[in-house]
Chains A and B, each alone.
Chain A
Amino acid sequence: MIRTFVVSLTIPDNEAYTALETLGRLGIDSSRVVRADVWIFEGELDAGLAATIGSIESIHNPNKHRLAERQADRPEPGEVWIATRDEAPATLVAGRALPGVRAILRRTAWRLLDDQGRDVAPAVLDRAVETFLCNPAFQVAITQ
């Protein structure tokens, strides 16, 4: 079984803001950059998984994070996920084994929005990935 969780910031996201500014320098225009951590769990997962990871601060800190479950372990349209190439799946989080979890994968989700709040054209997102968001030396970009 696979379950996918997306953790986003509820406080200002300085990293997304910096990405927006840097992309602007590269001539890739968007009005907003949205970033989130994606956690993918594989194994015999029990119903309490969401509550468990919700209490692990390095995944979800309620002071600044929002935790949501995704139905698919793939990006949504308009979204790109950056993963580490040849990622060795983790089995522990903060030194802790989670019940039934055999493998944990991490992704960073990025989304570029225009001034209407719509996803930018796929070609623009591609360019952002190629020129900045992904270092192909050790990362891969996953889109739908």
Chain B
Amino acid sequence: MMTAAHDDAVALGRTLGVALSDDEIRRIAEHLGRVPSATELFAFDAQWSEHCSYKSSREHLKKLPTEGPTVLLGVGEDAGIVRLGEWQGETYGIVVAHESHNHPSQVVPFEGAATGIGGIVRDVLCMGAEVIGVADPLRFGRLENEHCRYVAQQVVDGIAAYGNAIGVPNVGGDVFFDSSFDDNVLVNVVALGLVKEKDIIHSRAPEGSVGWDIVLVGKATDRSGFGGASFSSLTLDEDDAEANKGAVQVPDPFLKNVIMRASYAVFAALREQGLTVGFKDLGAGGLAGCSAELCAAGGVGAEVELERVSTAQRDLPPEVIAIGETQERLCWIVPPSFTPTLLALYNEMYSLPRVARGACAAVIGKVTDTRRYVARYRNETVMDVDLEFLTGGVRYSRPYTIAPVEIEPRDARVRDVEAAFPPGGSDLIGRLRAVLAHRDVCSRASIYQRYDGVVRGCTAIPPGYADAGVLVPIPGAPLAFAVGIGGNPRYGAIDPRRAAELAVVEAVAQVTAVGALPVGLTDCLNFGDPTIPEQMGAFVAAVEGLSEAARALDVPFVSGNVSLYNRSSSGNHVAPSPIVGCVGTIADVTHTASAALKRAGSALFVLGVPQLAYGGTVIAEVAGLSTRALPQMDYEGFAEACAVVRAGFERGFVLASRDVSDGGVLTAIAEMAFGSLAGIGAELNHTDAFFVEIDARGRNWTNNAVWFAEFPGFVCEVDAERAAAFAELAAKHGVRAREVGETIGRAELDYNGQRAPIAELRSIWDAPLRDFYGASSGPS
């Protein structure tokens, strides 16, 4: 074809404002042998966006381990599935999906965050699963900044408004505040579903589906969300923010509530008839993107009549009908014999048209054997492309540089810590007060109390009562699972690779601290502009870190998401933020427990080995340490510590546990006391037992700062009568377990005679976010 036609195509692309590069448009024109239509250009724009195609990230993501005996369905579809266990002769799986809605949440935070939940819930639903939980990792800018305060409020309101209305419990998540998020909030969401292995529905046209119906279900298509996929892959500029608002979809959780329930009824009808069908949610790329991916995955083609799509506005142009990202829509591929049942369930039994104007299920096309995607509008063909070319996307090998991490000499680290914590003791309780008030440590109650954590009646441990939320998803069955989240931006800013390793460790530690066995990981990789080699390098390093940790701990990744271009026009990139979720299973819910101290007289154990590595810790910030050293990883030792904690739960030794994270051991113990309904406190009297091993020859370095060290490890409340057996168990696993004190029947923290009432410490811990988000109340 002549270059002139390529130029026409490029000119059209620029007029339409697509984000495709000139080269990409030329490739499309070359392939088609003509100037693409507007609909086609928008379709490629969405399909070839970073968001859909992972064009910068895919070659690196291949490094992640994704297989193992716990995987029922690995990466490749909308969500992965891990094995929960067997019950009454059936194998059950937990569906795990992870998504970001960062860019929309910066522009319209309420709606952006709400839509984030809406989108991920569909990813779980379309696997044939019941949606049973969500968890939100959030990264906000500094609350001293007015706009950041606004975003932080609206994001939480948006999550609450959507999640509460659809009746899916919020079972966890985390929140960090950091200046690198001032211009780019991170709103990630993990969604969880329950499905029997034999009832999994795949996101593809099944074998033999040529001639079947393509059915679109949900909200009437409108102009909202047009251009969303490529929008989420653009750098945010303040001026653009106003113009970009139209690219964010308008969520309707009420309609979604009904669509979810109607879809469950469809699942039941399919089981009854023993049918295998295709089901997928409409996300980035809209109707064309979704139906194209369904058909491409099945090796078939599609013919779609766009005028059959229910629209909210008259005369929507075909490219909006085909590509627009109107929320609350799903696409089925079913045999024509089943179509009447499907339509009756959505349109009559669940009366979608009554629930929202224009909402319905309607046949909009047929599956063909052409391997082409053909869309017509009013008898005119507006799209006719090869499916593989459309959905295969493009790949980039972006240049990257990984910044070397300098190793600080040990002497310098010792000097740094001793300047703040002089040898011979210091006011530890005073330090604790400052740590408890730190923005990344203080109570999150006023956030999670805005979310319904107990709807559906399957919650065994609600958010805030332990490191991980626990659900018992099958009524009557003892099978339970936990969800943990890791990803500390203070570590990310220092060393993306180590931060990624620590994110995996933290997520695994959280589920372990409720007695669960980690069975699957999910990641959301939030980074800056990949066209900048240092930012791309941070991404590559983080993926290597995730891979190493997951392999070492033998837990596969089953789903994930990548969010790049998290930078503002002023060049403020987000701290490299690999955020990791971990699902852990508990064979019998009787063996789990909240993190609250349970009774007086128990032994308090610390498991794990603290290191002289205070980089990125809360105490470093509070005490003004300058070190940037992060802990060295000892995966074998950590895995053994996890095994000890799990066995401790199963054998009834461990009454409560927390992992050692932000704020260290002393903070963990204080938080365990805050959760106690019975007013149990702690006396820490064996303080010499707990120290940093300074070198391989076993030389020790004793310093109070160790109480705030952050390292892979656990605090456990152990039944007094089983303390010796627990110590023996740890020894057998080669795990260092030190008894540091005991629980007491008065609500007080007593460190070698330095005392503070639990109520006073708790009020310090409660205050910062309560003052920002409004009143919260403690356990009743």
Direct touching of A and B (C-beta under 8 Å): yes
The answer, yes or no, to whether B358 is at the interface (CB within 8 Å) is yes
Q: Tell whether A61 pairs with B111 under 8 Å between CB atoms, given A11-B224, A11-B250, A12-B312.
A: yes
Contact indicator per residue, chain B 228-270, by CB within 8 Å of chain A (1) or not (0): 0000000000000010011010101010000000000000000
B110 within 8 A of A: yes
Task: For A14, give its contact among B111, B149, B357 (CB under 8 Å).
Answer: B357
Contact B154 A63 (CB under 8 A): no
User: Does B157 lie at the interface of the complex (its beta carbon under 8 Å from any beta carbon of A)?
Assistant: yes
Name the CB-closest residue of B to A64.
B250
Q: Is the CB of B369 closer than 8 A to any CB of chain A?
A: no
Contact among B146, B157, B246, B254 for A63, CB-based, below 8 A:
B246
A62 touches B245 (CB 8 A): yes
- Complexed CA–CA distance, A63 and B115 (Å): 13
Q: Do B358 and A12 touch (CB < 8 A)?
A: yes
B222–A11 CB distance below 8 A: yes
| Interface SS majority for chain A | loop
Alpha-carbon distance between A35 and B222 when the two chains are bound, in angstroms: 21
Query: Taking the complex as formed, is B87 at the interface, i.e. its CB lies under 8 A from any CB of chain A?
Result: no
Q: Are the CB atoms of B153 and A94 closer together than 8 Å? A: yes
Mask: chain A, 87-101; 1 = CB below 8 Å from B; 0 = not: 000000011100000
The contact size tier of chain A is 10 to 19
Return chain A residues, CB-CB under 8 Å to B254.
Answer: 14
C-alpha spacing A58/B254, complex, angstroms: 18
**Residues in B135-149 with C-beta less than 8 Å from chain A:** 146, 149
- Which residues, 95 to 134 on A, are CB-close (under 8 Å) to B? 95-96
Contact of B110 among A11, A57, A62 (CB under 8 A): A57
The verdict on A56 contacting chain B, using a C-beta distance below 8 Å, is yes
Q: Please tell me if B330 contacts chain A, counting CB pairs below 8 Å.
A: no
Given the contacts A17-B357, A61-B110, A63-B111, A11 and B312 also touching, CB distance less than 8 Å = yes
Question: Would A57 and B154 count as touching, CB distance under 8 A?
Answer: yes
Least CB distance from B352 to A in Å reads 12
Q: Which residues of A contact B597 (CB under 8 A)?
A: none
A70-86 interface code vs B (CB 8 A; 1 in, 0 out)? 00000000000000000
Q: What is the CA–CA distance of A17 and B312 in the complex, to the nearest angstrom?
A: 14
Question: Smallest CB–CB gap between B283 and chain A, Å?
Answer: 18
B679-731 interface (Cβ within 8 A of A): none
- A contact residues around B110 at 8 Å (CB): 57-58, 61
B108 is an interface residue with CB less than 8 A from chain A: yes
| Contact in complex: A63, B250 (CB < 8 Å) | yes
Q: Which residues of A contact B356 (CB under 8 A)?
A: 14
Taking the closest CB of chain B, its distance from the CB of A46, in whole angstroms, is 16
Task: Report the nearest B residue to A14, measured CB to CB.
Answer: B356
Residues of chain A within 8 A (CB-CB) of B224 are: 11, 63-64
| Residues of the B chain whose Cβ atoms lie less than 8 Å from the Cβ of A56 | 150
CA distance A17 to B109 in the complex (A): 27
A58 to B154, CA, bound (A): 8
Chain B contacts for A14, CB-based, 8 A:
252, 254, 356-357
How far apart sit A105 and B152, CA to CA, in the bound complex (Å)? 23
- What residue of chain A has the Cβ atom nearest to residue B358's Cβ? A12
**What residues of chain B lie closer than 8 Å to A61, measured between beta carbons?**
108, 110-111, 245
Residue of B150, B246, B248 with most chain A CB atoms under a 10 A cut-off = B150
Q: With A and B bound together, what is the CA distance between A96 and B250 in angstroms? A: 23
Chain B nearest CB: distance from A65 CB in Å?
A: 10
Residue of B nearest to A55 (CB): B242
Number of chain B residues close to chain A: CB under 8 A: 26
Contacts of B242 in A (CB 8 A): 62
B149:A63 contact, CB within 8 angstroms: no
Which B119-164 residues have C-beta < 8 A from chain A?
146, 149-150, 152-154, 157
**A111 vs B508: C-alpha distance when bound (angstroms):** 56
Does A94 lie within 8 Å of B357, measured CB to CB?
no
Which residue of chain A has its CB nearest to the CB of B252?
A14
Set of chain A residues within 8 Å of B773, measured between Cβ atoms: 95
Q: Which residues of A contact B108 (CB under 8 A)?
A: 57, 61, 63
Contacts of A96 in B (CB 8 A): 146, 149-150, 153
CB distance from A92 to the nearest CB of B (A): 9
Residues of A within 8 A of B252 (CB): 14
Residue interface mask B757-774, A partner, CB < 8 A = 1:
000000000000000110
A49 vs B437: C-alpha distance when bound (angstroms): 35
CA distance A123 to B345 in the complex (A): 41
Which residues of B634-672 are within 8 A (CB) of A?
none
- CB atoms of B157 and A58 under 8 A apart: yes
Q: Is the CB–CB distance between A95 and B150 below 8 Å?
A: yes
Inter-chain CA distance A61–B248, complex, in Å, is 11
**Closest-CB distance, A38 to chain B (whole angstroms):** 20
User: Roughly how many angstroms separate A63 CA and B225 CA in the complex, as a whole number?
Assistant: 9
**Bound complex: CA A142 to CA B612 (Å):** 68
Residues 338-366 of chain B, each 1 if its beta carbon lies under 8 Å from chain A, else 0: 00000000000000000011100000000
**Nearest Cβ on chain B to A136's Cβ, whole angstroms:** 26
Q: Which chain A residue lies CB-closest to B248?
A: A63
- CB nearest neighbor in A for B146: A96
A95 to B155, CA, bound (A): 12
Which residues of A in the span 3-46 have a Cβ within 8 Å of any Cβ on B? Answer: 11-12, 14, 17
Closest-CB distance, B171 to chain A (whole angstroms): 25
B 77-123 contacts with A by CB, 8 A: 108-111
Residues of A within 8 A of B772 (CB): 95
Instruction: Verify A57–B111 contact, CB threshold 8 A.
Output: yes
Task: Give the residue among A11, A56, A63, A94 with the most B Cβ atoms within 10 A.
Answer: A63
- Tell me which residues across on chain B come within 8 A of A11, comparing CB atoms: 222, 224, 250, 312
Complex CA gap A63/B222 in Å reads 11
Q: How far is the CB of B48 from chain A (nearest CB, A)?
A: 25
Q: What's the least CB distance linking A95 to chain B, in Å? A: 4
- B148 to chain A minimum Cβ distance, whole angstroms, is 10
Q: Which residue of B lies closest to A9 (CB)?
A: B250
Q: Are the C-beta atoms of A63 and B245 separated by less than 8 Å? A: yes
A64 to B152, CA, bound (A): 21
Interface centre among A11, A57, A58, A96 (most CB of B within 10 A): A57
In angstroms, how far is the closest chain B Cβ from the Cβ of A45? Answer: 18
Q: Which of A14, A17, A56 lies at the interface centre, i.e. has the most chain B CB atoms within 10 A of its CB?
A: A14
A56 to B109, CA, bound (A): 10
Measured in the bound complex, the distance between the Cα atoms of B114 and A58 in whole Å is 13
Q: Which residues of A contact B248 (CB under 8 A)?
A: 63
Within the complex, the shortest CB–CB distance from B531 to chain A, in Å, comes to 29
Min CB distance B357 to A, Å, is 5
| A-contact bits for B425-451, CB 8 A (1 contact / 0 none) | 000000000000000000000000000
Contacts of A58 in B (CB 8 A): 110, 154, 157
Q: Which residues of B contact A62 (CB under 8 A)?
A: 242, 245-246
For this complex, 28 residue pairs linking A to B, each with C-beta atoms less than 8 Å apart, are: A11-B222, A11-B250, A11-B312, A14-B252, A56-B150, A57-B108, A57-B109, A57-B111, A58-B110, A58-B154, A61-B245, A63-B108, A63-B111, A63-B224, A63-B245, A63-B246, A63-B248, A64-B224, A64-B250, A94-B150, A94-B154, A95-B149, A95-B150, A95-B153, A95-B772, A96-B146, A96-B150, A96-B153
Given A11-B312, A95-B150: 10 more A-B contacts, CB < 8 Å: A14-B357, A57-B111, A57-B154, A61-B111, A61-B245, A62-B242, A63-B111, A63-B224, A63-B246, A95-B153
Nearest 5 Cβ contacts at the A-B interface = A95-B153, A94-B153, A57-B110, A62-B245, A12-B357
